Structure 1
Amino acid sequence: MEFVVLGPAEIRRADGRGEPVTGRLQRVLLGVLLARANQAVPVDVLTEALWGERPDARAGQRLHLHVHRLRGTLGEPDRLSFGPDGYRLRVLPGEVDAERFEARVGEGVDLAGRDPRRAVGVLRQALALWHGVPFAETDVPALGDWAHRLAERRLVAHEALCEAEVACGAYAAVIGELTGLVREHPLRERLHGLLMIALYRSGRQSEALAAYREARETLVEELGLEPGPELRELERRMLAGEPVNVGGEGQPQVAVPAQLPGDVTGFAGREAELAELDGLLSGTGPAVVSAVTGTAGVGKTALAVRWAHRVRERFPDGQLYVDLRGYGPDQPVAPEDALGGFLRGLGLDGAAIPQDTAERAARFRTLVDRRRMLVVLDNARSVEQVRPLLPGSPACFALVTSRDALAGLVAREGAHRVSLERLSRGEARDLLREALGARVAAEPAATDALIERCARLPLALRITAELARSRPASCLADLAHELADQQGSLDLLDADGDPHTAVRAVFSWSYRRLGQDVARVFRLLGLHPGHDTDAYAVAAMAGLGPREARRALTVLLRAHLVDQVSGGRYQPHDLLRAYAAELAAATDGAAAREAALNRLLDFYLSTASAAMDAVTPYESYRRPKVPAWGGEAPPLASHDHALRWLDAERDNLLEIGRHGDAAFTIDMAETIWRYLDIGGYLDELITLSVRELRESRAVGNLLTEAHARGRLGLTLSRLGRDHEEAISHLQQSLTAYEQAGEPELQAIAHNNLGIANVRRGKLSKGLDHFELALARNGPTGPWTLRRAATVNMVVSLKGLGRYEEALGHMENALELCRRHGDETNESNVRAGLAELCALMGRGEQAREQATRALAMARKTGYRGVEGDCLRLLGVLCRERGDHEQALALHQEALTLAHDVGDAGSLIETSNELAATHAAAGHPAAALRLYDEAVALATEADQRKSLADTHAGAAAVHAGLGAHDEARAHWHLALGHYEALDLPQAADVRARLAAAERADGADGADGVERAEPGGEVSR
C-alpha cells in the first residue's frame, strides 16, 4: 500500500489501483493519522483537528463514521485500529511518499559532495514524487507544520540538485531552473549564489554580476540587509576573474584534469606575446583557438607553458595538455590517440571511450561543453592533426604550437596566430643576465657575440649559459670564439643560414664538454624508439646500473640536454634527439648500436613479462617463457606497482614492437595483450594483434597466427563492428588449433566464437560453441577457462528459456569461484544467479543474490556487474509496485552503463528504465528511451536486444491505444526473434493475434495488461 500526500491525497492499494481521498474531513483525518503513524492518536486530538476547539456533542459519533469510511478506502480495515489510547494507523516503512521523499533528499544531499552525477538522479527522483501542495485547503496546525517542513525540504532538494548539476558541468541547462527558483524565493541567498556560479562558468560573466546586483537590491529593499559574505566573495572573485567552485574551495565535483607540464625555468622576454594572449581572454568574444607558430627552438612550447600556468586559475574546470610530436623522430601522435588521453583525463574508463575518431571527438566536445577549460596542443604537425582535438564551446580556450603556419586553422576555425620570432637582442641579453649575472655587464661585446652565435634562440642561449656557468674562470669572449670555430666546422643544415645551424653548433659545443660515459648515454637517447624513458631503460641500453644511468641523466639535465617530465622520466627536445641520433650514427659502430637496441628489447620484454605475472598471475602459463632480465629491474612485486609501470611504458612497449624481429614482436604481443584488454585500450590491442598476425604469417608460425586472429576477432566483436570479419578471424583461429591438435586452444577458440555469436543474438549457435569449449577443456583443463565457458553458456540457456538447466551450471561456476577465492568473478556469477531466480519467480532469492553480488562488485571494482545488479534490483522493485525506487535504481544503473561503455548493458538498462517509466504512468518518457535503445541496438548490430526493444515499445503503444504503432513494433520484434530462432517469438505471435482479434477498447485493455517489454527485456 502507498499513501500519497505530496499533492492531492490518495491511497494506492497493493493491486496498483489508486483511491483519491475526497472531502476535507477525510483528508484531515488521514493526514493527522499519517503524521503520527503507528502511534495511538487520542479521540479529542482527532475531533479538534476535524471540527476545531469546540466540537459539538455528536463529534465522537461523527468521528466514528469518518473512520469507517476511511477503513473502506484503505481496503484493509485492520490497518486502522482502535484502542484505549485512541486510533492507530499501521504504516509500513516506505509506504508514505513524504517519507521516501525525505529519505531520498537526505541521500542526494549526502551524495552531492561526493558523487554529483548520482546525486542528480536521486534528487530528481525525489522531486518527481511531488504532484501538488501537501494538505491544501486545510487549516490544521499539525498538518500545516508538516507541510511547511516538506516545502522547506523540497527547496533544499532543488538547491542540492542545482548544485550537483553545476558540479557536473551542466551550467547552461540549470540556468533556467535557477532563474525560476530565484524569482519564487527571492530572499534565498544560496539560490542567488548558484545562479551566479552557473552564469559565470558558462562564460557569461556580465550576467553573473548583474544577478548579484539584482540579489543585493532585493535583499536591501526587503530586509534592509547587505548580502552575506558568500555572495560578496563570489562577486569579488568574479570581478577579479578568479575561479569559483561549488561546495567551497578544494571540492571539485567532476574530473578536473591538471595536465600542464611544469613551468619553464630561465624564461625571459616575450612580454608582448604574453600580453597578446592575455588580450584574447579579456575580449568580448573570446577566441576559441590561438596558434603560436615559429621555427624550431624559438621557444613556442616555453611560451605556451608559461602562459598556461599564468592563466590556469581562469580555467577552473581543468587544463588538458598533449605533445603531438609533430616534428620529432617518433611518429606523430594520431588524433584518436590524443583524444583517448583527453577522455581518460576527463574521467572516462577505457571501455567507455568510443573507437571511431569522429565519435571520440564528439564525446570530447560534449564533456567539455560549457566548462571553462584550457586545451594545449603542443608541437602539432598539421591542421588535420589538430582539428579533431578542438573543443566546441566558447568557454574553452585551445592553444596550439607548431612550426607550421597552420593557415587552414586560421581560415576555417578563425584561429588567432601569434607568430613567434627569435628573441630580440634585449630579451636575449635578459635571459643571459638572469643566468650569468654580472658577467654579462662586464663583457657586453662578448655577450652580444654569444647572442648572435646562438641566433637569438632561447634553447641555444640556455645551453650556452649553462656552459658558461660550468667554466667560471673563463671569460665570455673565449666562449664566443670557441663557438664560432665549432660552428664553422659543422655542415650547415641550411645553405641560407637557417637558425638550426646555430642550435646544432651549440649542441656540439655542449656535447664536447661531457664525460665519455655521459656522452654515450646522450647518444643512446637518440636511438631509443619511444618518446620518454626512465633510468632503468637507459641503463639497459648503456649496459650500466640504474644508479650510474641516473647520474648521467642528472648531468644531462643540468646541461639542458634532456628534460625531466613527471614520474622520474626523461625526454630530450626533438632537435636534441635528432642530433643525438646523428652523433650515434657517426660515432658508434653498427654493431654497438644494434647491441644497445637489443639490450633495450630484452629489458622491455622481460620486465613486461614480470609485470604481467603480478597483474594476472593466473594466466602466466599462457605467456611466453622469456629470460629474466640480467640487470636491475624496477620494483614490480605488487599489482599496483606493476600496473603503474605498464601504464607508464604502454606507448614504448607498443613502439618497441616495431623495431625487433618477428619473434620479438610475437612474444611482446603474447605478453601484454591481456593488459590492453583489461584496461580497455582496444585500439592499441587491434594494432598489436594486426602486427602479430603479419609477423606470424611472415615466418609461418601457425599457432601465433591463430592467437592473433582470435584476439583480433574477439576485439572487433566487442566493439560491435565488422562482425563478419570478426567471425572469419575466430573461425580461422579454431581451424588452426584443430590442425595443430591442441584441445585447450580449441576450447578457447570455441568460447570466443560462442561470445561473438551470442552478441549477435545467435544463442543456439553460441551454446553449441560453449558446450564444445567445455568438452575440449575437459575436467582437468584450466579452471579459469571452465568457469568462463560455463558462465557464457548460461547466458545462452537463459535466453533460450532453459532456466533450470542454466541454474545448475551457474551453481557449478559459483563453486569454482569460491574454491579458488575469485571474488571478482563470483560477483558476476551471483548476479547471473539472481537474474535466473527472478526469471523463475523466486523474487526473494533473486534479491538476496543480487544484493550480495552488488556488495562484492563494489568491493572488487567490477563496475559492469555493479550495473547489472542495480538493474535487476530495479526490476524487482518494479514488480512489487515500488516505482520510485525502481526508477532510482535504473537511473543509477544507466549512468554506470554509460560510464563503462558496454553497448549491450546500455541497451538492456535503457529498456528496463523505459519499462519502469511505463509502469509508473510515464509513457512518453518510456517511448523516448525505447527510441534511443533502437538506435543503439541497430548501430551495434545487437539483434536480440533490438527485438526486445521493439517488443517493449509495442506494449507501451498498445497501452496508449495506438494499435497501429503497437502492431508495427511487434512485427519488427517478431521478425528478429524468428530470424534468431528464439522462443520469445511465440509470445509476440500471441500478442499480435490478440491485437488482431481485439475490437475497440476491450481489446486494447487486454493488450495493455502485458508488462511493457515482458520477459524479453529482462
Structure 2
Amino acid sequence: MEFEVLGTIRLRDAGRDAMLAGRLRRTLLGVLLANANRVVPAGVLTEAMWGDQRDDRVVRNLHTHVHRLRGVFTQPDRLRSEQDGYLLTVLPGELDAERFETLIEDGVNTTAHDPRRGAELIREALGIWRGAPFGGLDVPVLHDEARRLGEQRLRATEELYTAELAAGRHTAVIAELTELVARYPLRERLHGLLMTALYRGGQQAGALAAYRSARAVVVEELGQEPGPELRQLEQRILAGEPIDTEATARQATPAQLPYDVRGFSGREAELATLDELTPGALVAVVGEGGVGKTALAVRWAHRARERFPDGQLYVDLRGYGPDEPMAPGDVLTAFLRELGMDGSTIPPGLPERAARLRTLVDGRRLLMVLDNARTVEQVRPLLPGGASCSVVVTSRDSLAGLVAREGAHRVRLGRLPYDEALALFRGLVGDRPGTAAGTETALIERCARLPLALRIAAEQVNARPCRNLDDLLSELAGKQAVLDLLDAGGDRHTAVRTVFSWSYQRLSPDAQRLFRLFGLHPGKDVDACALAALADAGHRATRSLVDALLRAHLVEEVAPGRFQLHDLLSAYAADLVASTDRLDEREAALTRLLDHYHHTARAAVDQLEQGGLVPESPVVSTPEFESAAHALRWLDAERENLVRAARFAVRQGRPYATMHLGGVLFRYLSSGAHHQQALVLYQDALMAAREQHDVLEEGHANRYLGAVHYRLGHPDTVREHMHLALRCYQRSGAVRYERVQLLNLGVVCTWLGRYQEALGHFAEALARYREAGETEVSTVDGCAGALTNLGRVHCFLGDYEAALAYLTEALALPTGGQDRRNALEAHLNTGIVYSRLGQYERAVGYLERVRAGAAETGNRLLQAGVFPLARVYWRLGRRAEAFDCIKNCLAVVRGTGDRLAAASVLTAFGDLYREAGSPAEAMPYYREGLAVAEAIGKPYERGRALAGIGYASADLGDEPVAVTHWLEALRVFEALGVPETAEVRARLAF
C-alpha cells in the first residue's frame, strides 16, 4: 500500500488508485496518517470531520466512514478499532511524508563527505512534494503537521543549496537561489547562500547588492537589522576573505545542559513526542512536583543535542522552591553573555534585552530549556522570535496562557506507569533476594509512582545496607510516616513534603482550604458536589477552586468531573488539615459530606426504583437526577466512595451514618450484583448495630447479609441471617419488617425446593399486608412482592392458571409508588408462564419489557434472569437473537459471580444448543450447570441439568448414560412435585 499526503491525499493499493470520494473521507484518512501507528481518539476524528458537534449521530457517522474507508483497503485489518479510538497501521516506506523526511536526513548526513550525492538525495526528497500537505484541508488538527512538513521542505531547500555550494556548483545555482529569495524574502539563510554563490562565482558586487536587498526587506518587514550571521558574511565579502561551505561564521556555542539524571527509566512515549517536534517548537512540560519534569527535559535535551548544533541554553527559573524566582531580566543578561555579548553592551531595559536575544538566536538551530517556571509572564520575554530555535519549558502550572497565545505544545507528565516505576526502582536498589512477594509493588504504590519519592526511598535502602525492602515498607505504613521518611535526609530541595509545599503555598487561602479538606475524604476520587459539601460552598465557587488545584497539578482529573489526589498528596493534605484546621471544623466538614452522600444516594435509588424524587436536601450542590440512567451513572461512579464513607463513619464514631447509608444502598448493591462490597459494608453495619444495642438495625443488617449470601449461593448462611433478622424484628416490635421477612423466608424456601413451605410464607405475608390496610408505598410493594412470588411458585408447580391469577393481580396494583423492580419481576414471571403455555407471542412482550427495564435501571440480577427470553425467541424463529440473549445473560452471571442465576442460565444455554441440534455443544453447559446447582443446593436446577444431560446423551446415542441421569432427575422432580416429572418419566418408559 502507498499513502500520499504531500499534496492531495491519495491511496494506492495493489497497484491501483483507490477512490477517496468526499472531504470527510479524505479528512478521516488524513488525520489517521498524521498519527500513523498511533491510536487516534474518536473525539479527535469527529472534531476534525464535523467540528464541535457532539450528538450521537456524529459517533454513528464516524463508524460508517471508518467502515467505508476500511472497505477501500485490500487489507482491512490495517485500520483497527481500539478501546479509545482507531489505529491505522502504516509500514516503513509506505507514507510519502516519511520517505520525504528520511531522504532529507540521509542527504544532510551524506553532504559532509559527499556533497554531490547529498544534493541528489535532497533533490529526490523534494521531488516527492506535490503540493500543500493533506491537500490543503482546512482542519485544525492537521495544521501543525502541515506546517511542520512545510518547514521541513524549506529546511531541505536550504540544505540542498548548502550541498550544491559544497560541491562547487556556485554559478549553476544562482538563478534558483535568486528565485527562492524572492519567494521567501525573510529566510536569511537563503540570502546568505545567494551571497555566497555570487561571491564564489566572482560576483563580489552582486553579492553585496544581494546583502543590501536582504537588509532592506528585513528592516522594512521586521523593523530590525539582519541577524549577526548575515552581517558577518557581508564583512567577509567586503574584506575579500574566503567563505566556508556553510556560508556563515559560527557564533559562541553554549552548552549549558546540566548533568543527565542517573538511572533515568521509562517515559518513552513522552520522549517520542518530544522527538517529533519540529524546529522552532515551543513545548510546555507540565505536571506535579516530583513527577520528573526536569529529568525528562534534560534527558531529551542530551539525547537530541545533535539536532541543535548552535548550542543549548539552560536556566532554572526557581519558580517553585525555597529561593526567590529568577527575574526575566536577569535570565536575559545571563543568556546574552553566554551568546558572546560583552556585559557593557547589554541593554538596560527588559524589552531591549529580549529583542537583542531574539536577534542573536535568529536563524540558529539552538535549544532553550527554561526549567521550573512559575508563571507565563516569567517565560514570555525569554522566547525567541524565529522558527529555528526550540524551547522546552517545565512547570507545575498548566501554563494555559502559553498554550493559548504562543501556541505551545503541552506535554502533561503524569506519574510513572507501574512497569516504568518498577524498572526505575530496581535500577536504583538492584536485586534484593529474599524480598517478600508483593513488597516491591506495595513500595512503589506507597511512593505514588513519583520518581522523586522512588529515588528517596531507594536512597533510604542504599544508605543502610542492613535495611531490606520489607523493613522499609513497614516504616512507610502510615500517612504521616511516609512523609516523614521520604525527606531525603533533610534536603529542603528534595524532601517530598517540602516539594509539595511549594505548590500549596502559591494557592489562594480558599484553594488551600479545599486542598486540605481533600485529606478528609475517605475515598479515592471525588466529584465537585462532594467537594462543595466538604467546603460548605456553592458548586460554581468550588469548581473554580478545583480549577486552581488542577492548574497547580495538586489534583488530577481522572474522569470528566472526577478528581483525585495520589497517595502522597493525600497524605500531605491529611497532614495539613490535621495541623491547620480545628477539630470542630473537621467534624462539621465530615458531617456535611456524609449528609450529602446519604441524601444524594437516597435520591438516586428512589429515581432508579420508582422514578420519583425525594424532598429537596439542605445539603448544597446535590445533583438532580433526570432519569434512571442518570441516577445509575451517579451510583456506579460513586459506589466505591459510598461504601468507603459508610465504613469510614464507624471508625469516626458515627455508627448510625453507617447503618442508614447502608440501608439506602441495599437495593442498588443487590440489583447491581456488587456482592463483595455489600458483604463488608453490612458486616460493619451489623457490628455497629450490636455495639449500639439497636435491635431494629441489627435486624436490617442481618436481612441485608442474608440477601447477599442468597445471591452468592450460601444456603446455610442465608437461613441463619434471615432467621436472626426475623427474631430481631419480633423483639423490636417492627411489624412492618416482620412481613418483609416472611417474604424473604419464602424466597429462601423456593430456592431450596420447599415449595409448599414457600407458599405458606408468601400467603401469610400477603394476608398480613392486606390486614394492615395501609396505603403507603411499602404496603403496595409488599403485596406486589407476595403476589409475584406466589405466581412464581405456582408456575414451578405447573399450576399455570393460579400463577396467572396472582401475577395479574400483582400487575393491577397501583403503580404510583410501586417499586419498579417488583413490577419487572411480575412481568418476568408472567412471560415465563405464557412461555410454558406455548403462547410465545404473548410471552415475548412481557420478557422484552423486562430486558429493557433491567438495562435502564442497571439491574444485573434481572439482566441475567431474563434468560427465558432466549427460548421464546427460538420458538418464534428468531434464532440469532436467541443466542445473543443467552450469551448476554451468561456474560452477566460470569461477571457478577451470581451462582444462583448461573445454574439456571447454564442449563438454559444447554437447552438452546440441544434444540439447535448440537447436543455435544450443549453437554458442557449442562455439566457446569449441574456442578453449580449441587454446590449451592438448588434442587430444581439440579434436576433440570440432570435431565438435560440425559436428553443430550440420548441424542448422541448413549442410552445408558441418558437413563442414569433421567433416573436421578426423576427422583429430584418427584420430590419437588413439578411438571417436569411427567416428561422424564415418559422418556424412561420409552
- TM-score norm. by structure 2 comes to 0.50
Tell me which structure has the larger Cα radius of gyration.
Answer: 2
Return the structure number with greater relative CO, CA threshold 8 A, min gap 6: 1
With the length of structure 1 as denominator, give the TM-score of the two structures. 0.49
